[in-house]
Structure 1
């Protein structure tokens, strides 16, 4: 469905499932046209496009590996050709390859850093010129509670997510003059494929440590993203935890 280029546009990376999917739907509910991104468009992703269309919003899916700057540039150009603007960037794409450091290959380390951290740099760098041109924007980076609590077996993941926190603070300072706000979100134990894949006993133990006694829902993370994107104009450079009190 084609819409006026004056509608606000949100790009969410890694948005065909899980938290990214929930973010896309919540922002569409708020009236944003949506640019979806992932390595492939699975059936679940096609359903998101249908849902967004039924809301009366426009959408586009762009296949791109966020770890590759050339692919990211092409993605941004394709989105701008259709919508003319990107008001919100949600850097959500991420992977994990969990191993103890002694068992982690240099390739295991680098792959996670490339997608989770370099991907955030690539997308942010590529989108900032347009945000400056249109008079501002919101950049929301998906970090993790793992950036703070040193999860065993996730040295690469924790390092990448910790790097996102520092990167967020720098972007907030560098681009506040252009009315570009940048924040990071650190989810705790959320109902995603990552936590679904945990051994049942380990998952039960993890949930038992959460004061509210349950995993979070992707929609709850998406509602926080939507607040930062659509209702907050005086928060920047912050890391916001959403974890039901598991880590304080």
Structure 2
């Protein structure tokens, strides 16, 4: 039987890949044989990730990029195409999680969240999409959140929820536009996983109680529990799946 999850010969870009979930996504794709371009602002951390990924027997290209700057995104896409000749997979993972009461949010915080969590996802998809359209093949995976679909009592997340809700509808709309080019566009909606971005939240005692109340499994996600989702959407196993969000959340969004 053909291995539907085999990614040998595929080229992937993973943004926000200097730490946390981005490293996990890049590693999961590499374990299935994909060559990976890893993108973030901290080149020194990317180089450490490159060393580990290349131990898996694939190629890894670290590229410094501020994903809020369109010209830098275009440069990344050009570099990857020159190096590998194509782009098969894009994982739009880069993002931030600032929060605070809506009535107290500054214009600067709102714009920062929009630029990082929503605009960058569109710009990267747009630039990579041009190559995928030309090649009549592509897998775009946007990293949303449980907050693409639900808010949370006691935690003021209006800006974050707005950006992640936008990612979901961007995913659906791009899926609709680009299906005719054999490009699938899907999203993953993680609940809370321990990472550099979330460590202050998940280590808080009060938040532990929130998790026990709102998550049927009563815990945050563990390392590796998103691997199956990203490999599924990146592979031919999902060839007839597009415009969807897969919530990997311990049941959080079912109640």
TM-score by length of 2: 0.91
Indicate the residue corresponding to 2:5 in structure 1: none
SS in 2 for 1:197: helix
Alignment of 1:224 onto 2:229: yes
Say whether the 8 Å CA contact 2:47–2:62 is kept in structure 1. no
Indicate the residue corresponding to 2:185 in structure 1: 182
User: Following TM superposition, by how much is the alpha carbon of 1:7 offset from its aligned partner in structure 2, in angstroms?
Assistant: 2.3
Indicate the residue corresponding to 2:82 in structure 1: 81
User: Following TM superposition, by how much is the alpha carbon of 1:200 offset from its aligned partner in structure 2, in angstroms?
Assistant: 2.1
Moved more, 200-209 or 93-102: 200-209
Indicate the residue corresponding to 1:22 in structure 2: 24
SS in 1 for 2:113: helix
Indicate the residue corresponding to 2:40 in structure 1: 38
Alignment of 1:233 onto 2:234: no
Separation of aligned partners in 2, 1:150 and 1:183: 21
Separation of aligned partners in 2, 1:200 and 1:164: 27
Indicate the residue corresponding to 1:163 in structure 2: 166
Root mean square deviation, CA, Å: 1.4
In the alignment, structure 2 segments of 5+ residues that lack a partner are 1-7
Separation of aligned partners in 2, 1:71 and 1:47: 22
User: Following TM superposition, by how much is the alpha carbon of 1:218 offset from its aligned partner in structure 2, in angstroms?
Assistant: 3.8
TM-score by length of 1: 0.93
User: Following TM superposition, by how much is the alpha carbon of 1:193 offset from its aligned partner in structure 2, in angstroms?
Assistant: 2.8
Equivalent residue for 2:156, pick from 147, 153, 156: 153
User: Following TM superposition, by how much is the alpha carbon of 1:156 offset from its aligned partner in structure 2, in angstroms?
Assistant: 1.1
Separation of aligned partners in 1, 2:222 and 2:140: 22
User: Following TM superposition, by how much is the alpha carbon of 1:194 offset from its aligned partner in structure 2, in angstroms?
Assistant: 3.5
Say whether the 8 Å CA contact 1:19–1:219 is kept in structure 2. no
Indicate the residue corresponding to 1:12 in structure 2: 14
Segments ≥4 residues shifted beyond 6 Å: none
Alignment of 1:246 onto 2:252: yes
Indicate the residue corresponding to 1:141 in structure 2: 142
Indicate the residue corresponding to 1:3 in structure 2: none
Moved more, 128-137 or 188-197: 188-197
SS in 2 for 1:94: coil
Say whether the 8 Å CA contact 2:190–2:247 is kept in structure 1. yes
Deviations 1:107-155 (A, max 9, x none): 0000010010000011001001111222211000001111222233211
Aligned length: 242
SS in 2 for 1:219: coil
Say whether the 8 Å CA contact 1:135–1:179 is kept in structure 2. yes
